Amino acid sequence: MYRQKLCVSLMKYGELSDIEQVLLLKKVGFDGFTIDDCGLNTDVDALVKLAKEENMIISSYHAPFNKCDDMWNPEEIGEKARTELISCVETCAKHEIPIMVTHAFLGYDNDFVSVEAGLDRFGSVARRASELGVRLALENTEGEQWLAVLM
């Protein structure tokens, strides 16, 4: 893997804190890590500081996925999901994390989908990401048709 950086995602592994995970990853030879902030409770500032101290990279930031299907809901709940994702994009920009990972949809059986609402909300997240120089990555979509709509 010439000129490739070896990174792995931080997760909630038993008793290990994020800081302990990063130090262990460094010790065993990883070049960097991905912040998995699905609960919006990760101390991103501390991880960025540690990454700099340990000369590691942060390859991406995984935004919460528990509200991604709300992005397609025409009600106020969809606006809350949009605000949350835009905040995550801004976190990436603030810390110079190049990629924000999110899901396009979660749940095969949801019937409240509004294509207009989804396109509008994901579009505004994409525009904000573009303004800030953050790339978006969509993954693990349940209901592939919604990923196709966004693409």
Looking at residue 112, the DSSP 8-state letter turns out to be: -
**Tokens 């500081």, residue located:** 49
3-state helix, strand, coil in the chain (%, to 5): 45, 15, 40
135 vs 53: CA distance, rounded Å: 25
For 41-58, letters b (16+ CB in 10 Å) and e give ebebeebbebbeeeebbb
Reading the chain (151 residues) residue by residue, the pLDDT tens digits are: 567 888 888 887 778 899 999 999 999 999 999 998 876 778 999 999 999 999 999 999 999 888 888 999 999 999 999 999 999 999 999 999 999 999 998 877 666 678 999 999 999 999 999 999 999 999 877 777 888 888 8
